[in-house]
């Protein structure tokens, strides 16, 4: 019998963040595996109702008022009504985050799997009026997916039973994110107006305080003192953009640091780069890191979230403490000056995500979890 999955994602592409991208990739992979998948998400200004998108039936039927506490109330009520209408069309409900929609799903009489990629939504619910009710409903879910060891510990801390927790990383499209040869890289740099003879590092993500990019700029000032042709690409937008440009100007880095803004397709920029940097203060299981590893880039990243579970420092990447500026500068300079080591790290990085994080592999594991939850219901 064809497995029917109803996935709830507060937002869904064309709105594109990490959770939305994961929902889309997983839904498409499940469809390829023979599942029937439907998405329940918020309506957009010009997109409401139901439509097929890439083989997935998307219901944009959650209606909200975007005004403070009223948002939560309208999201709760609209999610409840939408799930009542759709609950007989699915075998299992998959919640892409642990928020109010997960509480509503717990009342539908279906097996419910909750994803926890970060603790922001759970923290918001713990601060709400009636938090003990919402957390009680969360604990009633049939199962939980934790993407990292810190996330699993948070679930245990709020009273989730250990036998309900499954450990899975985020997935990555291994067929789309692939390495390129040297000749192709030169062509990409020419097309993207990136210096052909430079050593190019890339960061992809929000320009926000938690990404710790100010510290990265200070590190880069140290790198450029030793490597005059070292360039840093910052791909993304966010609240710190203007401040980061000011810091770059103050450090005399405007020729070496390139603010490229938000890009719908980061792949060519990754393929045109030599290595990837992720200086975050906190992360879940970052999509940007998985994509860089899939492209075969050696990655330099901080020890937060699931990153130490993906990177074995010295074997498939380099783990750093960005507060140790001189040590980080030294690690980056050594990576640039030893291309054989860089190639070896990048190759091992791709092997790691191919083995553990391929979205096809992740989808197989989700299907097994769904079937297990169904057998227990």
The CATH number covering residue 167 comes to 3.40.50.2000
Asked if 5 contacts 35 with a C-beta cutoff of 8 angstroms, the reply is yes
Question: Same structural domain for residues 198 and 337?
Answer: yes
Q: Is 361 helix (H, G, I), strand (E, B) or coil?
A: helix
Question: Same structural domain for residues 199 and 287?
Answer: yes
> Is residue 237 in some structural domain?
yes
The count of structural domains within the chain is 2
> Is residue 176 in some structural domain?
no
Question: Same structural domain for residues 68 and 115?
Answer: yes
Query: Residue 42: its pLDDT value, please?
Result: 93
Question: Same structural domain for residues 123 and 192?
Answer: no
> Is residue 271 in some structural domain?
yes
pTM value > 0.75: yes
Question: Same structural domain for residues 269 and 322?
Answer: yes
Tokens standing for 301? 């990243």
Question: Same structural domain for residues 269 and 364?
Answer: no
Query: Residue 65: its pLDDT value, please?
Result: 86
Question: Same structural domain for residues 167 and 243?
Answer: no
Question: Which residues span the domain enclosing 113?
Answer: 4-171+358-376
Exposure string over 291-327, b if 16+ CB within 10 A, otherwise e? bbbbbbbbbbbbebbbbbebbeeeebbbbbebeebee
Question: Same structural domain for residues 15 and 78?
Answer: yes
Closest by alpha carbon to 232, among 262, 193, 259, 268? 259
- Computed on alpha carbons and rounded to an integer, the radius of gyration of the chain in Å comes to 22
> Is residue 177 in some structural domain?
no
Query: Residue 184: its pLDDT value, please?
Result: 96
Closest by alpha carbon to 135, among 159, 156, 111? 159
> Is residue 302 in some structural domain?
yes
| Per-residue pLDDT in tens (0 to 9) along the chain, 377 residues | 799 999 999 999 988 788 899 999 999 999 999 999 999 999 987 778 899 998 899 999 999 887 777 888 899 899 999 999 999 999 999 999 988 899 999 999 999 999 988 777 777 778 877 888 889 999 999 999 999 999 999 999 999 999 999 999 999 999 999 999 999 999 999 999 999 999 999 999 999 999 999 999 999 999 999 999 999 999 999 999 999 999 999 999 999 999 999 998 999 999 999 999 999 999 989 999 999 999 999 999 999 999 999 999 999 999 998 778 888 999 999 999 999 999 999 999 999 999 999 999 999 999 999 999 999 98
> Is residue 194 in some structural domain?
yes
Question: Same structural domain for residues 345 and 362?
Answer: no
């Amino acid at each position: 019998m064809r497995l029917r999955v109803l996935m709830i994602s507060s937002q869904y592409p064309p709105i594109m963040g990490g959770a939305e991208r994961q929902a889309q990739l997983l839904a498409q992979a499940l469809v390829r595996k023979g599942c029937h998948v439907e998405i329940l998400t918020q309506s957009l200004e010009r997109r409401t109702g139901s439509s097929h998108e890439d083989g997935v039936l998307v219901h944009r039927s959650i209606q909200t008022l975007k005004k403070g506490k009223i948002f939560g109330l309208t999201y709760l009520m609209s999610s409840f009504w939408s799930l009542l209408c759709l609950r007989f069309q699915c075998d299992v409900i998959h919640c892409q985050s642990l928020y109010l929609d997960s509480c509503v799903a717990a009342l539908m009489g279906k097996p419910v799997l909750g994803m926890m990629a970060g603790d922001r939504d759970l923290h918001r619910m713990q601060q709400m009026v009636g938090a003990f009710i919402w957390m009680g409903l969360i604990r009633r879910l049939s199962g939980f997916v934790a993407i990292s060891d810190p996330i699993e510990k948070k679930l245990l801390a709020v009273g989730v039973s250990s036998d309900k927790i499954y450990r899975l990383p985020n997935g990555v499209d291994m067929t789309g994110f692939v390495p390129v040869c040297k000749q192709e890289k030169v062509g990409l740099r020419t097309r993207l107006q990136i210096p052909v003879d430079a050593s190019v590092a890339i960061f992809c993500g929000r320009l926000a305080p938690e990404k710790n990019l100010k510290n990265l700029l200070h590190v880069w000032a140290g790198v450029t003192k030793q490597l005059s042709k070292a360039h840093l690409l910052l791909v993304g937008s966010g609240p710190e953009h203007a401040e980061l440009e000011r810091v770059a100007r103050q450090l005399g880095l405007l020729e070496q640091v390139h603010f490229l803004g938000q890009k719908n397709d980061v792949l060519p920029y990754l393929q045109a780069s030599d290595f990837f940097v992720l200086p975050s203060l906190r992360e879940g299981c970052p999509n940007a890191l998985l994509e860089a590893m899939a492209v075969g880039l050696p990655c330099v990243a901080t020890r937060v979230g699931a990153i130490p579970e993906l990177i074995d420092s010295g074997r498939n990447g380099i783990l750093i403490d960005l507060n140790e500026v001189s040590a980080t500068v030294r690690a980056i300079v050594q990576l640039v000056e030893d291309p054989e080591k860089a190639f070896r790290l990048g190759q091992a990085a791709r092997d790691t995500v191919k083995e553990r994080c391929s979205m096809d592999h992740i989808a197989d594991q989700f299907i097994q979890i769904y079937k297990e939850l169904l057998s227990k219901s």
